[in-house]
């Protein structure tokens, strides 16, 4: 039953990682993501046990988020990221495979 005299309660918006795009670009694993409402001073981007970890805190309300993205390769700990106007770009070098050697063709 709806009570007309009840006051509405406003909850702060929970920050989210939306609109993520993951692709390979000239030897880099690239992630583009929209981080609506995230404070850049409280944004964390790290490589942890083969995963890309993105965490942050909202501009208002102090609410945070944490996302873990498993990588399809063993990253060596080097990652570069840019964050501007709610858009995050992470670039991780894809290691060259040492085992990629040509095998002779037997007739």
Tens-place pLDDT, residues 31-81:
999 887 787 888 999 999 889 999 888 777 677 888 888 898 888 767 899
Owning domain of residue 61: 17-93
In a domain, 12, yes or no: no
In a domain, 32, yes or no: yes
In a domain, 82, yes or no: yes
In a domain, 30, yes or no: yes
pLDDT of residue 28: 92
Number of domains in the chain: 1
* Mean pLDDT of all residues belonging to the chain: 77
SS3 per residue for 3-49 = CCCCCCCCCCCCCEEEEEEEEEECCEEEEEEEEECECHHHCEEEEEC
CATH number of domain containing 29: 2.60.40.790
């Amino acid at each position: 039953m709806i009570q007309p005299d009840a006051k509405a309660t406003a909850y702060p918006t929970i920050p989210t990682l939306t609109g993520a795009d993951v692709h390979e670009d000239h030897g880099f694993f690239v992630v583009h993501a929209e981080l609506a409402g995230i404070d850049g001073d409280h944004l964390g981007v790290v490589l942890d046990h083969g995963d890309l970890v993105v965490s942050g805190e909202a501009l208002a309300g102090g609410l945070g988020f944490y996302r873990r993205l498993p990588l399809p390769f063993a990253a060596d700990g080097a990652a570069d990221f840019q964050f501007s106007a709610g858009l995050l770009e992470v670039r991780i070098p894809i290691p060259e495979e040492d085992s990629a050697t040509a095998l002779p063709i037997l007739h």
